[in-house]
Amino acid sequence: MNGTLLVAYATRYGSTRDAAGLLRDVLAKAGFGTDLRMARDVRTLDGVGAVVLAAPYYIGRLHRDAEAFLSAHGEALEARPTAIAAFGPLGEGKAEDRDQLEATLGRHPGLKPVSAGMFGGVYDPAKLRGFDRLLAALPASPLHGLAARDDLDRAGLRLWAEEL
């Protein structure tokens, strides 16, 4: 691989930034020159040999900054090995969540990820803002009354990164 390995991330409350840092550390330890940047700050993929995009996955959608990254850099991503790490479903990444992720990525037809992983997320109701707080307050919401929890399988994430 020529160039650096970019770990780009989108985050809403910070936990995906932490997961992206873990990915960067594993990949750097494997010998890759790595760069960790927020997806919304990436202007070009010149000098980048491969990309790992880490993003929250909410209600069947990647974070808007991740979607914008995929749209803005679609052609460049087609020419580079690209992997996607999505975070968000509480509990283990269920088959239906992985199917939703594949459908989401299918909206970017030229993108052929070398791997697309779905990982549990981190939820802290005390950090919620705006619409997220309102959604969690609705009695019909699956988040209603849910206590803070951390379902990110860090060992599984490390293994996924090592396999890349």
Look at residue 1 in the predicted model and tell me its pLDDT.
65
Non-local (6+) Cβ contacts of 69 within 8 A are: 8, 10, 39, 40, 42, 53
Look at residue 20 in the predicted model and tell me its pLDDT.
97
Predicted structure pTM score: 0.90
Look at residue 89 in the predicted model and tell me its pLDDT.
62
Query: Angle of helix 154-163 relative to helix 15-29, nearest 10 degrees?
Result: 40
Q: What angle do CA 1, 43, 18 make, to 5 degrees?
A: 75
For residue 14, pLDDT over 90 is answered with: no
> Averaged over 111-117, what is the pLDDT?
93
For residue 11, pLDDT over 70 is answered with: yes
Of the listed ranges 38-52, 74-88, 118-132, the one predicted with least confidence: 118-132
Q: Indicate the pLDDT class of residue 93, thresholds 50, 70 and 90.
A: low
For residue 128, pLDDT over 70 is answered with: yes
